[in-house]
Amino acid sequence: MIKVAFFTNDLKNIDAHFGSCEQFMVYEVGVEGSRLVGVIPTGEERTEGRVEMLKEADVSMLYCIEIGPAAAAKVVNHKIFPMKYKHVVGIEEELEKLSTMLSTNPPPFLQKILEKGGA
């Protein structure tokens, strides 16, 4: 089981930038599926504050539309794996993909997260 954050404006899609999103959704994801843990407002927090919020939520991965190189480095330094998309993607679709990857043969990046105990 791992915890994953989705940066979203509409609560349905990965459609937000790491630095300007007003909220992120946290899910627990495992081989049996996923469940919503909570929606966390980011308020006026900048990179350091957002990273701290992710750490407090015990997140191992984050999904967003865009993340700058400095922010990505800070996230990675805190053992959080960023997934960046160039287009809007549905959260449910990504949850299903992630659950399937966990139940079959996880790619190296997921294997590394699982070896460290997930989130």
Could you report the per-residue pLDDT of 72-88, keeping only the tens digit for each?
999 999 999 999 999 99
Cβ-proximal residues to 96 (8 Å cutoff; 6+ apart), any chain = none
Q: Compute φ and ψ for 96, nearest 5 degrees.
A: -65, -45
Could you report the per-residue pLDDT of 33-73, keeping only the tens digit for each? Answer: 999 999 999 988 899 999 999 999 999 999 999 999 999 99
Number of domains in the chain: 1
If you average pLDDT over every residue of the chain, what do you get? 93
Q: How far is CA 55 from CA 13, 52, 119, in A?
A: 22, 5, 9
Tokens linked to 7:
């940066």
Domain that holds residue 59: 2-115
pLDDT at 23 over 90: yes
Task: Tally the C-alpha atoms within 13 A of residue 33's C-alpha that lie toward its C-beta.
Answer: 3
Question: One-letter amino acid identity for 73?
Answer: A
CATH code assigned at 107: 3.30.420.130
Q: What is the mean predicted confidence (pLDDT) over 89-115? A: 91
pLDDT at 94 over 70: yes
